[in-house]
Amino acid sequence: MGVLILALVAGAVVGLSLGALGGGGGILTVPALVGLLGVPPVAAGTAGLLVVTVTSVTALTLHARDGLVRWRTGLLFAAAGVPTALAGGAVAARLPDAALTGAFALIATAAALRMLFPGAPDDGVRPPRPGRAFAAGAGLGATTGVLGVGGGFLAVPALTGVLGLRMREAAGTSLLVITTNSLAALSTRAGTTEGLDWGVLAPFAGAAVLGAWDGNRLAARVSGRMLRRVFAVVLLAVAAFMTVRTLA
């Protein structure tokens, strides 16, 4: 019962993050599965992709209903990441657990610092730079494939800083990118579900889907800056936990 409650709480937090910020689901799901539920890192990455895909589709529907998804921009951005997501997914099963955990901690720290100290104001008027956009999309796909995270915590800053989208549009569009990259990465992860307890994973995913609805409502009431700051603090805590786990 204790494990089930942990799964429900963690799933709800994941859904809130995806619904409110358009990202952060995978980067919270994987540590929760590894640290709280004892799932091996590779299997946790696969489970994280499953949870993030289902939840992102739900959140994407809500954002699209509000007119906050830039479909053409999102699909072009995602297209750059699909090949690297496929390659990353194939590589992930061959990497040692310590390498995956350590890389995860570094990425989480970098994302948190980027949210706390953005390099430019979110004015939504900067012209996109195709070369940087392609590089950002490809890097995001690789991160998704290797670490089993949807990449929204990186997609949102890229969509605002590189492509000039406003925060709420970036959050909605990132869900399209997350879904595309996650499906691509999942297609290469057959046979990496050993150690998963579907009796726990299913409630986790269900709570995440419900949390996405609440997160969408929260985003309309709380400023994007405040949401980013809160999420950045959570990311730093996750990074610290994963670092300790790597060094232990």
pLDDT digits (tens, 9 = 90+) for 44-78: 878 888 888 888 888 899 889 989 899 988 888 88
- pLDDT-derived band at 130, boundaries 50, 70, 90: low
Token pair 């489970």 is found at 47
Q: Which domain holds residue 70?
A: 2-247
pLDDT digits (tens, 9 = 90+) for 190-200: 666 666 677 77
Whether 179 and 60 have beta carbons less than 8 Å apart is answered as yes
**Which residue in this structure is represented by tokens 């090949």?**
83
Q: Which are the contacts of 159, defined by CB distance < 8 A and separation ≥ 6?
A: 73, 77, 165, 169, 170, 173, 174, 177
Residue type, 1: M
The whole-angstrom separation of Cα 136 and Cα 85 is 13
248 class by beta-carbon count within 10 Å (0-12 exposed, 13-18 middle, 19+ buried): exposed
Beta strands in the chain (DSSP E): none
What is d(CA 35, CA 182) in angstroms, rounded to the nearest whole number?
Answer: 22
Average pLDDT over residues 74-96: 83
Region for 67 from its dihedrals, namely left if φ exceeds 0, alpha if ψ lies in -120 to 50, beta otherwise? left
Average the pLDDT over 108-126 and give the result.
65
Percent of the chain exceeding pLDDT 70 equals 86
The CB-side HSE value for 114 (13 A sphere, CA atoms) comes to 16
Predicted local confidence at residue 122, as pLDDT: 46
Say if CB 207 and CB 7 are below 8 A apart: yes
Where does residue 121 fall: left (phi above 0), alpha (psi -120 to 50 degrees), or beta otherwise?
A: beta
> What is the domain count for the chain?
1
Rg of the Cα atoms in the chain: 16
Q: How many CB atoms lie within 10 A of CB 71?
A: 11
Q: Of 115-119, 174-178, 181-185, 215-219, which has the strongest mean pLDDT?
A: 174-178
Q: What pLDDT sits at residue 123?
A: 44
pLDDT of residue 171: 82
Q: Decide if 122 contacts 224 (C-beta within 8 A).
A: yes
